[in-house]
Amino acid sequence: MAELGVKRIIATGAVGSLSAEFFEHYHKRSNVETTFMAIKTKFGDTLKSKNEVAQVNEL
């Protein structure tokens, strides 16, 4: 990689030192982000209603 002029940002072996707890948390976050992306893709990313009750009904 160095011969191509690419500089590493994360030191080699750093991923192996991350804990299982980190990956479990990250996986949950990934699932939430995927779910919201699916909702926004299907319904759009804006609500037209102004009050909270109408927004819940709109979803």
The contacts of residue 53 (CB under 8 Å, 6+ apart) are none
Residues 1-59: tens digit of each pLDDT: 667 777 766 655 555 566 777 777 788 888 999 998 988 888 777 777 888 898 888 77
| Rounded Cα–Cα distance for residues 12 and 55 (Å) | 48
pLDDT attached to residue 12:
56
pLDDT attached to residue 34:
92
| Rounded Cα–Cα distance for residues 20 and 28 (Å) | 13
- Whether the CA torsion 33, 34, 35, 37 is positive or negative: it is positive
pLDDT attached to residue 57:
86
pLDDT attached to residue 15:
56
pTM of the model: 0.43
